[in-house]
Amino acid sequence: MTALVLEQIENRICTLSLNRPDKRNALSPALIAELKIKINNALQNEGVRVLILEGKGKSFSAGADLQYISDIRNNSFEENLADSKSLQELYDLIYRGSKPVIAKVTGHALAGGCGLASICDFTFATPLSKFGYTETKIGFVPALVSVYLQGLVPHRKLREWLLSGAIFTAEEAQKNYLINEVIDESNIDDYVSEFALNLIKSNSGDSIALTKQLLAETTGKELDAALQNAAEMNAKARTSKDCIKGIDSFLNKDKIEW
């Protein structure tokens, strides 16, 4: 049976490729389950420092699988809730996981596929890539992703995207802080690989993990609670092996090898 998610580990980078090109990498319960397993394995693998998420073929992901959408009509509330929680678990693995995740978007990223690209730590796309939270077009709600997007995208633009279900360009996505850069299709593979390698070589893995945890835990908190959390995280970071190594290297004027 063909894997729904392909995995390649090289130079401490784990590349996970959605592998349903004939279906434009549409999300199905089986694909989501397989992707969760492989992301979790990469997070636990000490030989991996960065994850790259991409789609095989001409699309990153066109959203939910048509058969899956058809099946939803007969699901009970409990079944739909369990299904939603499965997607939430996938998003949380990426958003709260200890290692940076880079989305490399070529082609379309729509509905759930757009959500998947949105919550990665870094997102790069080609000039012809298209994005869209198209759920309202067919009676769905972009519920989970809306939580992650608040505070990331300007509120007026976020309301426009989520309520209209409009499809928009990579240039507009970058202008409104949804993605980091628009990269020519002929260069995007090399660009993302170099970006990932630079993250590995230039930054402490422990520090990145703690910073991701800090951002996840303080977003939306009241100021005093957020500052208390930040102070505790700062104290925790100072006792980490990476911090001690960094201080020693700095004081000795040695180049840090992460």
Mean pLDDT of 158-170: 96
Does the domain at 204-251 match CATH 2.60.40? Answer given as no
Annotated catalytic, 79? Answer: no
Catalytic residue among 135, 160, 171, 257, which?
A: 135
- pLDDT tens digits along 209-229: 999 998 988 877 665 665 676
Q: How confident is the model at residue 251 (pLDDT cuts 50, 70, 90)?
A: low
Mean pLDDT of 112-127: 96
Mean pLDDT of 38-43: 98
Q: At residue 153, does pLDDT exceed 80?
A: yes
CA dihedral 171, 175, 177, 180 (to 10 degrees): 50
Q: At residue 99, does pLDDT exceed 60?
A: yes
Mean pLDDT of 148-174: 95
Query: Alpha helices, DSSP H only, in the chain?
Result: 29-44, 66-72, 77-96, 112-118, 143-149, 155-164, 170-175, 188-202, 205-218, 223-238, 241-251
Residues 6+ apart with CB under 8 A from 44: none
Sheet holding 122-125, edge to edge: 5-10, 13-18, 50-55, 101-105, 122-125, 181-182
Assign a CATH topology to domain 5-200.
Answer: 2-enoyl-CoA Hydratase; Chain A, domain 1 (3.90.226)
Q: At residue 70, does pLDDT exceed 90?
A: no
Residues forming CATH 1.10.12 domain(s) in the chain: 204-251
Mean pLDDT of 139-160: 90
